[in-house]
């Protein structure tokens, strides 16, 4: 019964300074920092699309459902405060599954200091769907937006790209602390997290900013997993293709004014490398330009949510 499950869950939720009212009322109440704005993002993950429950420990699915939301808050340079978690569970074994999902997401919530403020737990005749909404707060530096990049800005990224399907798409670390630190210490013009593909998400950032971008293909940090996929004789993509289009890297792309970028790249203030991959152009569009100056159109690749296929 839902009541027993809620009791089980309540026992596992630590108190949180921002949580005035948590589980057990009609809604949760959060007290955010003075003058902070409320930042809201939501992601719905489904069995067969975002993970395959037949192949993985459900804890990893629960963890991923929270992590992708935290990555969206990171992309806004917002401090995570709380999440609400809705589950549509297949009826058979639903209590065990619900507990496993929470056993996956609760440690991440605690690590990132996020309250689980409420949710809605249901069973039905369909497969598993997990919907999480994350609430964050802006910091004194304000939010980081997709818009705001301008011609001449340097494009930098955290971490490496490609091949996340081999494991990182489930176990990645959302770049929350990294985004908060960078937004606090450096002037950032725009940012986005890479959920659908480095080139596709970069195209979205520059489109919202009304500019374009050139990237140096040799500078893109390619993950070993991208190399591994490229080695598979059944595929026909290069490691760079994988890095540019695989998606679910959940790294950050940032547009940074040149002097700030030099300082940031020289400081390397994060545990993860920050790499210059290119620059923003006045002309809208996306190109590669190698160190020899050869310039080619770069068609954005990545995961597009295709309807009616």
Provide the minimum distance between the beta carbon of 140 and a second copy in the complex, in angstroms, as a whole number: 15
Which residue number, 194 or 229, has a Cβ lying nearer to a second copy? 194
Q: Rule CB under 8 A: which of 267-296 touch a second copy?
A: none
Q: What is the token pair recorded at 170?
A: 């489930």
Q: What is the token pair recorded at 58?
A: 């459900």
140 binds a second copy per the rule CB under 8 A: no
- Closest by CA to 277, choosing from 147, 189, 157, is 157
How many angstroms separate the Cα of 143 from the Cα of each of 28, 183, 224, 250, 293?
Answer: 24, 8, 33, 18, 35
> Which residues have CB under 8 Å from 235's CB, separation 6+?
229
Provide the minimum distance between the beta carbon of 42 and a second copy in the complex, in angstroms, as a whole number: 4
Q: Rule CB under 8 A: which of 163-202 touch a second copy?
A: 192-193
Selected binder of a second copy within 88, 157, 180, 225 (CB under 8 A): 88
94 binds a second copy per the rule CB under 8 A: yes
| Spatial separation of the C-alpha atoms in residues 187 and 273, rounded to whole Å | 18
| Spatial separation of the C-alpha atoms in residues 267 and 269, rounded to whole Å | 5
Selected binder of a second copy within 54, 234, 293, 309 (CB under 8 A): 309
203 binds a second copy per the rule CB under 8 A: no
Q: Rule CB under 8 A: which of 211-270 touch a second copy?
A: none
CA-based R_g, the chain, Å:
20
24 binds a second copy per the rule CB under 8 A: yes
Provide the minimum distance between the beta carbon of 297 and a second copy in the complex, in angstroms, as a whole number: 19
27 binds a second copy per the rule CB under 8 A: yes
């Amino acid at each position: 019964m839902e009541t027993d499950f809620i009791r089980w869950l309540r026992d596992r939720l630590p108190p949180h300074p921002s949580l005035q009212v948590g589980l057990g009322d009609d809604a949760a109440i959060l007290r955010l920092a003075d003058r902070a704005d409320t930042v809201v993002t939501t992601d719905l993950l489904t069995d067969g699309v975002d993970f395959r429950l037949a192949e993985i420990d459900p804890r990893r699915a629960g963890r991923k459902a929270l992590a992708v939301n935290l990555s969206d808050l990171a992309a806004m340079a917002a401090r995570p405060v709380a999440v609400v978690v809705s589950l549509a569970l297949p009826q058979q074994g639903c209590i065990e599954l619900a507990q496993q999902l929470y056993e996956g997401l609760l440690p991440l919530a605690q690590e990132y200091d996020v309250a689980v403020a409420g949710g809605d737990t249901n069973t039905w005749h369909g497969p598993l769907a997990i919907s999480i909404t994350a609430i964050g707060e802006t910091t004194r530096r304000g939010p980081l937006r997709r818009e705001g990049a301008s011609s001449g800005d340097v494009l930098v990224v955290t971490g490496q790209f490609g091949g996340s399907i081999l494991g990182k798409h489930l176990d990645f670390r959302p770049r929350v602390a990294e985004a908060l630190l960078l937004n606090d210490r450096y002037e950032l013009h725009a940012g986005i997290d890479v959920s659908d593909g480095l080139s596709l998400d970069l195209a979205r950032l520059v489109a919202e900013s009304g500019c374009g971008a050139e990237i140096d293909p040799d500078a893109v940090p390619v993950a070993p997993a991208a190399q591994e996929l490229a080695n598979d004789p059944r595929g026909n993509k290069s490691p760079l293709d994988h890095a540019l289009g695989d998606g679910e890297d959940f790294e950050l792309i940032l547009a940074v004014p040149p002097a700030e970028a030099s300082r940031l790249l020289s400081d390397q203030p994060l545990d993860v490398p920050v790499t210059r991959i290119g620059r923003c152009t006045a002309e809208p569009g996306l190109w590669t330009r190698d160190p020899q100056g050869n310039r080619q159109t770069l068609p954005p690749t990545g995961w597009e949510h295709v309807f009616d296929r």
